[in-house]
């Protein structure tokens, strides 16, 4: 059998940016003509727009989502000798930021339903040095923030929400990033508010922390050439800010497009024998993933929004369980199957932070990170970007159906 191949990309930012060309070009010219290339009005306007969007009092534009995390930790005075709790199943930047400020990351396991830090697993990781916790709102939905904030309050910890992948997501009606000491965002082109290079933002409701973050963003100087603190150059470019302001006006419709694609996959696939959707009732309850034996039927599990959460679907991440007929993991077999058909897909993330060579010296007890290790072997993300056409998403869903149907032949 031959397959007529229509490639489906995992992401294509051109489709999103092309319809905005006129507006983007005008915004570019406005900054060009202003001659203001460091901070200034375009950055201030964009900061206010983000603050309004997420319902935070202050927003500070920074160089990237990674630097946003570093700056938040610096503003909170977290550094040498401190420990910071974070999920081991996350993008590197979360853990990297902790290390970069001289603190030690302490790995916490994840919930297999929402993929986020399972705070019920964090208590046994506490020591007298623990200063902060960084929940990461992975793939477009928030962590269990009531549980997280209650835990932090009980133990006197700072909370920084890494909302790089979840701008606009909600938890009990509150915006991702707005529920703690600091929230951080990224405008890397693959994020839901995708920029034209690197960019990021931090938000806070605390006047003093906001001021400290602003000072640290410009080498700790206040006033100019009088350095109160050792900061860095963490400034968001006005060109980037002006272009992002144009796109921000469309963020809601982008999220709707992503949600429609997610619903399409769920409607189309969740009733196929061998595929089910994750059970939101099991979200963040300390569930431990049962091992799956080599001769068990493989299974695909589709993602779901946890209780009280509004998902913005930065990724549509499937869990592929078990072992395929040829002995490869079901996930690797599915990846290969989709790639043969030129369907974009990616493993976010193939290794947890405790498995990274650069963190080999960080103390870790793998027995307490079982879910995360299983997830790294099971996850696969498929195209979900808002401009995906109806034909394309059908091609993706049909391919996954036929991959699963082949098990039963
Ligand atoms: C993308 C991302 C970051 C880093 O953002 P950059 O802008 O690429 O530096 C941090 N944390 C998470 C979870 C991310 O996905």
At 216-256, the pLDDT tens digits run 999 999 999 999 999 999 999 999 999 999 999 999 999 99
Q: How much is the CA Rg of the chain, to the nearest whole Å?
A: 22
CA 93–ligand 1 middle distance (angstroms): 6
Q: Is 165 in the pocket of ligand 1 (CB under 6 A)?
A: yes
Q: Residue 1: what pLDDT?
A: 53
C-alpha span between 373 and 359 (Å, rounded): 15
Q: Is 231 in the pocket of ligand 1 (CB under 6 A)?
A: no
Q: Residue 182: what pLDDT?
A: 98
Q: What is the DSSP string of 275-291?
A: EEE--GGGTTS---PPP
Q: Enter the tokens of residue 38.
A: 């460091």
C-alpha span between 12 and 25 (Å, rounded): 19
Q: Residue 2: what pLDDT?
A: 59
Q: Is 64 in the pocket of ligand 1 (CB under 6 A)?
A: yes
Which one of 115, 134, 162, 189 would you pick to mutate in the ligand 1 pocket, going by the greatest count of ligand atoms within 8 A of its CB?
162
pLDDT band at 288 (very low <50, low <70, confident <90, very high): confident
Asked whether 116 and 135 are in contact (CB, 8 A), the reply is yes
Q: Is the pLDDT of residue 291 over 80?
A: no
Nearest to 136 by CA among 91, 168, 103: 91
At 81-97, the pLDDT tens digits run 999 999 999 999 999 99
* Model confidence, pTM: 0.97
Q: Enter the tokens of residue 59.
A: 């927003």
Residue 108 is classified by DSSP as E
C-alpha span between 107 and 382 (Å, rounded): 27
At 257-271, the pLDDT tens digits run 999 999 999 999 999
Helix (H, G, I), strand (E, B) or coil at 197: coil
At 175-201, the pLDDT tens digits run 999 999 999 999 999 999 999 999 999
pLDDT band at 408 (very low <50, low <70, confident <90, very high): confident
Which one of 89, 92, 114, 188 would you pick to mutate in the ligand 1 pocket, going by the greatest count of ligand atoms within 8 A of its CB?
188
Asked whether 165 and 138 are in contact (CB, 8 A), the reply is yes
Q: Establish how many alpha carbons lie within 13 A of residue 301's alpha carbon, considering only the half-sphere containing its beta carbon.
A: 18
C-alpha span between 20 and 6 (Å, rounded): 26
Average pLDDT over residues 306-326: 92
Q: Residue 296: what pLDDT?
A: 76
C-alpha span between 140 and 166 (Å, rounded): 4
Q: Is 305 in the pocket of ligand 1 (CB under 6 A)?
A: no
At 330-388, the pLDDT tens digits run 999 999 999 999 999 999 999 999 999 999 999 999 999 999 999 999 999 999 999 99
Q: Is 136 in the pocket of ligand 1 (CB under 6 A)?
A: yes
CA 380–ligand 1 middle distance (angstroms): 18
What is the average pLDDT value for the chain, to the nearest integer? Answer: 96
Q: Is 65 in the pocket of ligand 1 (CB under 6 A)?
A: yes
Tokens 């050792």, residue located: 230
C-alpha span between 184 and 193 (Å, rounded): 13
Tokens 């929004």, residue located: 305
Element (H, E) at 75: helix 65-75
Q: Is 91 in the pocket of ligand 1 (CB under 6 A)?
A: yes
């Amino acid at each position: 059998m031959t397959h007529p191949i229509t490639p489906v990309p995992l992401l294509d930012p051109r489709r999103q940016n092309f319809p905005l060309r006129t507006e983007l070009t005008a915004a570019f010219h406005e900054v060009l003509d202003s001659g203001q290339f460091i901070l200034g009005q375009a950055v201030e306007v964009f900061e206010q727009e983000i603050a309004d969007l997420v319902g935070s009092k202050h927003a500070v534009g920074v160089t990237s989502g990674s630097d946003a995390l570093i700056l938040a930790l610096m503003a909170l005075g977290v550094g040498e000798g401190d420990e910071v709790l974070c999920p081991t199943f996350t993008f590197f930047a979360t853990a990297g930021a902790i290390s970069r400020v001289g603190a030690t990351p302490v790995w916490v396991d994840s919930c297999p339903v929402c993929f986020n830090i399972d705070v019920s697993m964090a208590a046994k990781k506490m020591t007298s040095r623990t200063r902060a916790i960084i929940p990461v709102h992975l793939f477009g939905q928030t962590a269990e923030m009531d549980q997280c904030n209650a835990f932090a309050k009980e133990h006197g910890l700072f909370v920084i929400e890494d909302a790089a992948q979840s701008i606009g997501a909600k938890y009990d009606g509150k915006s991702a990033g707005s529920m703690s000491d600091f929230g951080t965002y990224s405008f890397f082109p693959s994020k839901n508010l995708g920029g034209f290079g690197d960019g990021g933002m931090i938000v806070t409701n605390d006047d003093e922390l906001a001021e400290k973050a602003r000072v640290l963003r410009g080498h700790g100087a206040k006033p100019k050439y009088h350095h109160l603190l050792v900061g860095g150059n963490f400034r968001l470019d006005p060109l980037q800010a002006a272009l992002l302001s144009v796109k921000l006006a469309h963020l809601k419709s982008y999220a709707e497009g992503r949600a429609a694609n997610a619903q399409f996959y769920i409607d189309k696939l969740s009733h196929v024998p061998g595929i089910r959707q994750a059970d939101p009732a099991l979200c963040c309850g300390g569930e431990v993933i049962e091992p799956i034996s080599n001769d068990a039927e493989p299974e695909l599990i589709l993602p779901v929004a946890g209780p009280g959460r509004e998902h913005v679907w930065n990724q549509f991440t499937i869990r592929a369980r078990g072992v395929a007929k040829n002995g490869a993991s079901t996930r690797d077999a599915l990846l290969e199957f989709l790639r043969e058909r030129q369907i974009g897909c990616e493993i976010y993330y193939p290794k947890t932070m405790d498995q990274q060579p650069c963190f080999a010296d960080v103390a870790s007890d793998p027995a307490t990170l079982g879910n995360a290790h299983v997830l790294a072997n099971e996850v696969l993300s498929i195209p979900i970007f808002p401009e995906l056409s109806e034909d394309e998403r059908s091609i993706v869903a049909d391919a996954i159906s036929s991959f699963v149907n082949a098990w039963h032949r």
